[in-house]
């Protein structure tokens, strides 16, 4: 394939290259603006940057060593490896299950499985050992996202971006089932959002295909019901730097909008009554500046037949909270280390976490039902129909170690907690009742 020297493809690419200290790579021959679009299987050609075969499943394709403004692959089903490229924007929409391997690239922004009309199955596979300026959308992703660096870090290694700035969200991880988000280093907060219309019929089964032409069946199998929807995700061993109300948030806000038909999910059966079963593990992450928030688990919705008991584990995380205040922000409060609110019908296990201050100067008041201004290690609020186990957590430099409000049909236990420089170990209202001791 003919190579030609690269004329820089815009300020963003130049900035990315300068930041990472990378040598110039050649541009794809015949692509005048540095943009490659592959929209059918026949577009995997040398003119579109394909170097050779051996992307797996007995050949397919490798795209390697290019400097591009954009690379977009959509509505295909070939196996492809994308490696050692510099790309301003990389988009992988509906390429197929376990079809993609993205390794050792430098990318400005990544978008996966955007909410657009499609003819292909959801993109999944491996995204590993890359550096991204941002992950604008990692949607309906069931693969492995590991050992990546995301976000902008100044040359001196400091991280001073304040919450609320446009660049603060480093990763938009929305829609998952069986995904693993592990061993990454993130500068900015991570948002993991449940999509109810992205599901399987069981934890060990593949996600359904709800695109056009698959209204009745999944992959040619027998017709499936979408009444029972399973979701699970593992977020583990990540290092997250973020200053604000959270460094990592699991959320199910706007459940209705993410639960029914959409541009990419056209099966009308998604609008029928149904029930969800969800399993989440947030394990062994290291958070600097802000903590972990669970914002809605088992959302209330008029299409839900009932709730099924879910399982949520928050284990062995190390959380160093910095004081955060912003009068213009609704979250104007020192952040909790772990904050779980609006959760129902679940077994919640919070164990072996280490949470440190600062302590702050707010103390809980007898009539306080909100608790937003109390520096707490673990904050539990608006919990219904749950079993909660708080086991061998270590909490220091907080006004309150465990803060509980607005419980309904909840049984909870605290065992083996260790505290230092804490004013009140456990503060709870009448609805919460006294926690039990033991496992």
pLDDT tens-digit readout, 129-146? 999 999 999 999 999 999
> Rounded to whole angstroms, how far apart are CA atoms 258 and 267?
13
Contacts of 322 (CB under 8 A, 6+ apart): 243, 289, 290, 358
- Asked if the structure places residue 399 within a domain, the reply is no
Give the pLDDT confidence score for residue 52 in this predicted structure. 76
Q: Is residue 330 part of a domain?
A: no
What does the CA dihedral 319, 151, 102, 75 come to, rounded to 10 degrees? 110
Which pLDDT tens digit goes with each residue over 174-232?
999 999 999 999 999 999 999 999 999 999 888 988 876 655 445 455 567 889 999 99
In a domain, 81, yes or no: yes
Give a yes or no: residue 125 inside a domain.
Answer: yes
Query: What is the total residue count of the chain?
Result: 439
Q: How far apart are CA 106 and CA 191, in angstroms?
A: 22
Residue 383 is predicted with a pLDDT of 98
pLDDT at 402: 97
Each residue's pLDDT tens digit, 389-428 = 999 999 999 999 999 999 999 999 999 999 999 999 999 9
Q: Can you read off the two tokens belonging to residue 307?
A: 């709730």
Distance, CA of 388 to CA of 202 (rounded, Å): 24
Structure tokens at 162: 């304040």
* Residues forming beta bridges with residue 414, ordered by sequence position: 390, 437
**Residues 290 and 189: beta-carbon distance below 8 Å:** yes
Distance in angstroms between the alpha carbons of the first and the last residue of the chain:
65
To 5 degrees, how large is the angle CA 31–CA 34–CA 39? Answer: 70
- Report residue 330's pLDDT band, with 50, 70 and 90 as the boundaries: very low
Residue 418 located in a structural domain = no
pLDDT surpasses 70 at 164: no
In the chain, DSSP finds a helix count (H) and a strand count (E) of 1, 30
- In degrees to the nearest 10, what's the CA dihedral of 355, 195, 389, 422? 20
Residue 5 inside a domain? The answer is: no
8 A C-beta contact, residue 24 and residue 3? no
| Of residues 346 and 364, more confidently modeled | 346
Contact 163, 245 (CB under 8 A): yes
Q: Give the confidence band of 293 by pLDDT, cuts at 50, 70, 90.
A: very high
d(CA 261, CA 434): 44
| DSSP-derived 3-state class of residue 118 | coil
For the chain, the domain total comes to 1
**Each residue's pLDDT tens digit, 219-266:** 455 567 889 999 999 999 999 998 888 999 999 999 999 999 999 999
Residue range(s) defining the domain that contains residue 197: 11-308
pLDDT bracket for residue 80 (50, 70, 90): very high
The whole-model pTM stands at 0.88
Please name which of 345, 338, 349 lies closest in space to residue 400, comparing C-alpha atoms.
338
- Please state, in angstroms and as integers, the Cα–Cα distance from residue 236 to each residue in 145, 146, 175, 182, 369, following that order: 11, 10, 17, 5, 32
**Is the pLDDT score of 347 beyond 60?**
yes
Is residue 60 assigned to a domain? Answer: yes
Q: Is residue 215 part of a domain?
A: yes
Rounded to an integer, the average pLDDT of 292-302 is 97
pLDDT at 76 over 60: yes
* pLDDT given at position 205: 87
Q: Are 103 and 129 in contact (CB under 8 A)?
A: yes
CA–CA dist 366, 92 (Å, integer): 53
**Residues in CB range of 262: below 8 A, 6 or more apart:** 115, 197
If you ran DSSP here, which 8-state letter would residue 434 be given?
A: P
């Amino acid at each position: 394939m003919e190579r030609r020297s690269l004329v820089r493809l815009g300020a963003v690419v130049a900035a990315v290259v300068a930041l990472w200290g990378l040598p110039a790579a050649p541009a794809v021959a015949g692509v005048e603006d540095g943009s490659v679009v592959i929209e059918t299987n026949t577009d995997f050609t040398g003119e579109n940057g394909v170097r050779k075969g051996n992307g797996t499943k007995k050949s397919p394709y490798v795209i390697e060593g290019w400097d591009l403004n954009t690379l977009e692959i959509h509505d295909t089903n070939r196996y492809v490896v994308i490696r050692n490229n510099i790309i301003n924007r990389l988009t992988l929409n509906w390429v197929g299950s376990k079809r993609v391997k993205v390794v050792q690239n430098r990318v400005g922004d990544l978008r996966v499985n955007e909410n657009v009309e499609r003819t292909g199955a959801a993109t999944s596979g491996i995204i590993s050992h890359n550096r991204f300026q941002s992950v604008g959308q990692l949607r309906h992703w069931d693969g492995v996202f590991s050992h990546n660096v995301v976000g902008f870090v100044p040359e001196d290694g400091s991280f001073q971006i304040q919450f609320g700035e446009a660049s603060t969200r480093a990763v938009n991880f929305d829609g998952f089932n069986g995904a693993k988000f592990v061993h990454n280093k993130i500068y900015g907060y991570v948002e993991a959002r449940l999509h109810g219309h992205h599901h399987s019929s069981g934890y060990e089964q593949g996600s359904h295909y709800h695109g056009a032409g698959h209204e009745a069946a999944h992959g040619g199998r027998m017709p499936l019901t979408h009444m029972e929807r399973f979701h699970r995700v593992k977020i583990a061993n990540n290092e997250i730097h973020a200053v604000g109300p959270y460094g990592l948030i699991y959320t199910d806000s706007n459940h209705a909008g993410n639960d029914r038909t959409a541009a990419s999910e056209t099966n009308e059966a998604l609008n029928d009554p149904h029930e969800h079963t969800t399993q989440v593990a947030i394990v062994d992450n290291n958070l600097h500046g802000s903590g972990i928030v669970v914002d809605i688990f088992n959302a209330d919705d008029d299409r839900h037949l009932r709730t099924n008991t879910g399982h949520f584990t928050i284990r062995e995380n190390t959380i160093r909270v910095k004081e955060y205040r912003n009068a213009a922000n609704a979250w104007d409060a020192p952040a909790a280390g772990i904050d779980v609110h609006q959760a129902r019908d679940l077994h919640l296990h919070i164990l072996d976490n280490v949470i440190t201050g600062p302590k702050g100067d707010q103390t809980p008041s007898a009539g306080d039902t909100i608790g937003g201004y109390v520096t707490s290690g673990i904050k539990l609020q608006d919990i219904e129909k749950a079993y909660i186990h708080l086991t061998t957590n270590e909490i220091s430099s907080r006004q309150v170690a465990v803060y509980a409000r607005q419980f309904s049909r909840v049984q909870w236990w605290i065992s083996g907690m260790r505290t230092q420089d804490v004013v009140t170990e456990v503060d709870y209202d009448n609805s919460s009742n006294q926690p039990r001791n033991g496992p």
